[in-house]
Amino acid sequence: MRELIFATNNKHKLEEVSQLLLGKVKITSLAEAGLEGEIPETADTLQGNALQKAQWVWERTGKDCFADDTGLEVEALGGAPGVYSARYAGEHCSFDDNVNKLLENMQGKTNRNAAFRTVICLIENGQPRYFEGKVEGCILTERYGKGGFGYDPIFMPDRFAVSFAEMPLEVKNQISHRGLAVKQLVQYLDPAKHPPEP
Ligand code: IMP
């Protein structure tokens, strides 16, 4: 089975992606790869951040690896927080701080349309390649559910009547931005379509 290092310190992302890649790709965490420290993400695009995170691992290990970067794009806020979703309420803020700030900024807004977008950067033999996934939905007026992470309690995907935080992980993974991007990664890695290089 192919082995890839996943460049994330986010245990929720690791759990989601591990479930999606189960039996298809063996994921190595940063800890298992002997890497520690904060991975920089200072670019101003999702693609740039995904590349920066994957490159951080590639430069230290020379092993095939991937990273994801995700943004929540809210129509009424002109696409914010977007690429700045992690630091929306300031440097070193918590998931809760970010949710509070978004709920505050959305007070009184009737247009609640939003989308999560994920870009995955795979570095294979030193070459980057990108995969993207997007899910549309709306921002709720308060938190619902205890599952998931980040903005999950206030995001309800289209065609569902519950927030991401109220769904079992398997359901979120089937429809989510990250799930869709990982599906494309899996398709690309399918040895029938893309034989590994010797
Ligand atoms: P990053 O990809 O780790 O930079 O994520 C940016 C921000 O979006 C972080 O604050 C995450 O909590 C949030 N985020 C990323 N993925 C998800 C998700 O699947 N659901 C909810 N929030 C997310």
CA of 151 to the centre of ligand 1 (A): 7
- pTM passes above 0.75: yes
CA of 196 to the centre of ligand 1 (A): 31
CA 166 vs CA 42, 52, 92, 139, 197: distances in Å? 32, 32, 26, 14, 42
* Whole-angstrom distance, CA of residue 111 vs CA of residue 149: 24
Structure-token pair, residue 22: 């189960």
Does residue 98 line the site of ligand 1, with CB under 6 A? yes
Dihedral sign for Cα atoms in the order 185, 164, 6, 92: positive
Domains of the chain: 2-189 (3.90.950.10)
Is 97 designated active site? no
Ligand 1 atom, smallest distance to 176 CA: 19
- Phi and psi dihedrals of 124, rounded to 5? -120, 120
Strands (DSSP E) along the chain, which ranges?
2-6, 25-28, 65-74, 81-82, 113-124, 127-139, 155-157
Cβ count within 10 A of residue 145: 16
Do residues 67 and 120 lie in contact, with contact meaning Cβ atoms separated by under 8 Å?
A: yes
Tell me the HSE value of 95 on the side-chain side, using a 13 A CA sphere. 13
CA of 152 to the centre of ligand 1 (A): 9
Quickly state the pLDDT bin for 191 (edges 50, 70, 90).
confident
Q: Say what percent of the chain tops pLDDT 70.
A: 97
Ligand 1 atom, smallest distance to 49 CA: 4
* Whole-angstrom distance, CA of residue 163 vs CA of residue 173: 13
* Whole-angstrom distance, CA of residue 149 vs CA of residue 85: 13
CA of 110 to the centre of ligand 1 (A): 24
> If you take atom 17 of ligand 1, which residue's CA is the nearest one?
150
Does residue 88 line the site of ligand 1, with CB under 6 A? no
> If you take atom 9 of ligand 1, which residue's CA is the nearest one?
86
Which residue among 64, 68, 69, 152 is the active-site one? 69
Top pLDDT among 37 and 101 is at: 101
CA of 72 to the centre of ligand 1 (A): 8
Cβ count within 10 A of residue 161: 7
Quickly state the pLDDT bin for 197 (edges 50, 70, 90).
low
Ligand 1 atom, smallest distance to 87 CA: 10
Do residues 139 and 74 lie in contact, with contact meaning Cβ atoms separated by under 8 Å?
A: yes
Beta bridge partners of residue 133, listed in sequence order? 118
pLDDT digits (tens, 9 = 90+) for 131-169: 999 999 999 999 999 999 999 999 999 999 999 999 999
Q: Say what percent of the chain tops pLDDT 90.
A: 93
DSSP states of 41-96: ---SSHHHHHHHHHHHHHHHH-S-EEEEEEEEEEGGGTT-EETTGGGTT-TT--HH
